[in-house]
Amino acid sequence: MTDTTIKPLPEILRPLVRPRRLRTTPAMRRMVAETRVSPAQLMLPAFVAEGLTEPREISAMPGQYQHTLDSIKKLAEQAAEAGIAGIDLFGVPTEKDEIGSQAWNPEGILNKGIAAVRDAVGDDLVICTDTCLDEFTSHGHCGALTEDGRVDNDATLPLYAAMAVSQARAGAHVVSPSGMMDGQIAVIREALDDAGFTDVAILAYSAKYASAFFGPFREAVDCSLKGDRKAYQQDPANRIEGMRETLLDVAEGADMVMVKPASHYLDVLSDVAAEVTIPVAAYQVSGEYAMLESAAAKGWIDRRRCISESLTSIVRAGADIVLTYWAIEAAGWLREEF
Ligand code: PBG
């Protein structure tokens, strides 16, 4: 028979140190919070699509839309009103080709989107733009292909340079190369400077992994990719290599660096934040969004608390800037309390 008598706590085992004192009330917890998320560090990724007459909801990303030129302007105005940092624009063209030439066409949908947003909000938001060809190529890869179908690093670099310059011309404050080609930051920096855009900054997707969490994004941009990007994006197994890629981008002239995805790469993010002396961004990607939204829709998790916790964790790990599809909504919560 077990003795179920509960004995009083012996005097000698009474805790001398009690961390719980600092958790007693909401005001106390707020005062000692080590991490604070601010709307000023949130950036909203958004999609502008050609040939739409009205916004089209992305099925794997409920609440996110492919926008028209008109609705992307309204979204940017909302973002400015919400006090978030900026908007990161992706384009969805109707016409794709082998090298993605709509990407640097001034009349291409992304460049028109940039101009529309700049026209709507001016300098009130940081207007950032994706500088990568996967939305624009018929094969869906992030660059031009060799005869035998591999992504040709050096043939792609001049295309990125042309794209970045066209984006600067359209009104982007920041270009963000996300294609993981070697040497892309140096080539883009030189092209921007040559064209007189010395003040346009580069947010480098430095440690970007070949992640299955990009899944819903492929629908968002009507990507035609078959296969994967493992020959240019990083292996999820590699942490040290994330630092190597980051340091190379810093040396090539990146103004800010990024780790992507965010939640499953917090170790990489923390390494990068400890090492570099420029702002560090993290991208909470489409799959991270879809997972929380779908579990919340089923009533399995508390939506707001899980989103808040995920953003807090990304900032706690060292992100100065967070790209998140929840940017506007979270900014609304942050004005009350997180
Ligand atoms: C490439 C790019 C991708 C994402 C952002 N930029 C897709 C990819 O690399 O396959 C993914 C973003 C997300 O999943 O939210 N242009």
What string of H, E and C letters represents the secondary structure of the chain? CCCCCCCCCCHHHCCCCCHHHHHCCHHHHHHHCCCCCCHHHEEEEEEEECCCCCCEECCCCCCCEEECHHHHHHHHHHHHHHCCCEEEEEEECCCCECCCHHHHCCCCHHHHHHHHHHHHHCCCCEEEEEECCCCCECCCCCCCECCCCCECHHHHHHHHHHHHHHHHHHCCCEEEECCCCCCHHHHHHHHHHHCCCCCCEEEEEEEEECCHHHHHHHHHCCCCCCCCCCCCCECCCCCHHHHHHHHHHHHHCCCEEEEECCHHHHHHHHHHHHHCCCCEEEECCHHHHHHHHHHHHCCCCCHHHHHHHHHHHHHHCCCCEEECCCHHHHHHHHHHCC
In a domain, 17, yes or no: no
In tens, the pLDDT along 193-226 reads 999 999 999 999 999 999 999 999 988 888 879 8
pLDDT of residue 248: 98
* pLDDT confidence tier of residue 338, bands split at 50, 70 and 90: very low
* pLDDT confidence tier of residue 337, bands split at 50, 70 and 90: low
Domain count, the chain: 1
In a domain, 307, yes or no: yes
In the annotation, is 96 catalytic?
no
Is 209 annotated in a binding site? The answer is no
Domain enclosing residue 102, as ranges: 36-337
In a domain, 165, yes or no: yes
Q: How far is the CA of 189 from the centre of ligand 1 (A)?
A: 22
In a domain, 247, yes or no: yes
In the annotation, is 226 catalytic?
no
Is the minimum distance from the CB of 214 to ligand 1 under 6 angstroms? yes
The residue contributing the CA closest to ligand 1 atom 2 is 178
Q: Which atom of ligand 1 is nearest to the CA of 213?
A: 14
Check which CATH number belongs to the domain holding 59 and give it: 3.20.20.70
In a domain, 41, yes or no: yes
In a domain, 250, yes or no: yes
Q: Which atom of ligand 1 is nearest to the CA of 225?
A: 10
Is the minimum distance from the CB of 217 to ligand 1 under 6 angstroms? yes
In a domain, 176, yes or no: yes
In a domain, 83, yes or no: yes
**What is the chain's mean pLDDT, rounded?**
96
pLDDT of residue 226: 86
Is the minimum distance from the CB of 288 to ligand 1 under 6 angstroms? no
